[in-house]
Amino acid sequence: MNTKTSTPALNATQTAVLTHAIDHAQGKVEWFPENIKGGARQKVIEGLFKRAMIIGNDGQWHVTAEGYDALGRPRPGKRAAAKQAQADATATKVPKGARKAKAVPKEDAAASGGEAPMPRTRENSKQAQVVAMLKRPEGATIAQICEATGWQSHTVRGTFAGAFKKKLGLTITSDKAEGSERVYRIA
């Protein structure tokens, strides 16, 4: 009877990420191959987390003892192992980022004493273009945004409600002077 326990197989990207973390960053996951971006990075993190190869929260991921074992690498010394055990004990739930990637501000503006950090968007995307228009002191109308992006008005309104308010956590205000169009701004 064979009672050998096996570790789930890792794909090439997961292996490369773990190897780099162990060899170059004292077990901290901070590098990904150039072709792995955005959602693909999140999938790599989720896969490693589900296999208990990494542990962490708030975007700080570290290789676990299982990760070292999966690559056949010696575990760090006693001091590092004690630190890892402490990190394992404090991480009692699955971090939000491991479930679903969302671009939301991490801190409340009032709690941090300043403005909440802006979510990341690609600089030359239509979404970034619309955000820039809404940040202007004069704001922007639906018609102006439609002209700049080529979107239809219902797409603009849907983007306000979905991407901007729900996903990015932005507050959009509007006002309408008599005889003119409604103007939207980021508060």
Quote the domain boundaries for residue 140: 109-186
Residue 175: phi and psi, rounded to 5, are -145, 160
Q: Is 80 in the same domain as 153? A: no
Rounded to whole angstroms, the Cα distance separating 165 from 175 reads 17
Q: In the structure encoding, which two tokens stand for residue 183, read together?
A: 């103007």
Average pLDDT, the chain: 75
**Cα–Cα–Cα angle for 89, 95, 97, rounded to 5 degrees:** 150
pLDDT higher than threshold 80 for residue 34: yes
Average pLDDT for residues 61-71, to the nearest whole number? 83
CATH of the domain at 157: 1.10.10
Do residues 115 and 88 share a domain? no
Domain boundary among 99, 130, 145: 99
Query: Does position 166 have pLDDT exceeding 70, yes or no?
Result: yes
- Looking at the structure, do residues 76 and 121 belong to the same domain, yes or no? no
Q: Are residues 77 and 118 in the same domain?
A: no
Which of 46, 74, 99 lies at the terminal end of a domain, its last residue? 99
Query: Could you give the CA distance from residue 34 to residue 100 in angstroms, rounded to a whole number?
Result: 22
Name the band, by pLDDT with cuts 50, 70 and 90, for residue 155: very high
The structure tokens listed for 62 are: 């570290």
- Confidence class of residue 145 from pLDDT cuts 50, 70 and 90? very high
Residue 1 lies in a domain: no
More confident: 90 or 60: 60
68-126 pLDDT, tens digit each: 888 888 877 644 555 566 566 555 455 555 554 444 444 444 444 555 455 555 667 88
- Number of structural domains in the chain: 2
Pair (25, 91) in one structural domain:
yes
Tell whether 129 and 76 lie within a shared domain: no
In the DSSP assignment, the letter for residue 165 is I
Same domain, 140 and 75: no
CA-derived radius of gyration, the chain: 23
57 within 8 A of 23, measured Cβ to Cβ: no
3-class secondary structure, 143: helix
Domain-embedded: residue 149: yes
90 and 134 belong to one structural domain: no
Same domain for 114 and 87? no
Same structural domain for residues 47 and 71? Answer: yes
pLDDT reading at 140 higher than 60: yes
HSE at residue 110, side-chain half, CA atoms within 13 A, is: 0
The Cβ of residue 99 has, within 10 Å, a number of other Cβ atoms equal to 11
Of the residues 52, 68, 99, the one at which a domain ends:
99
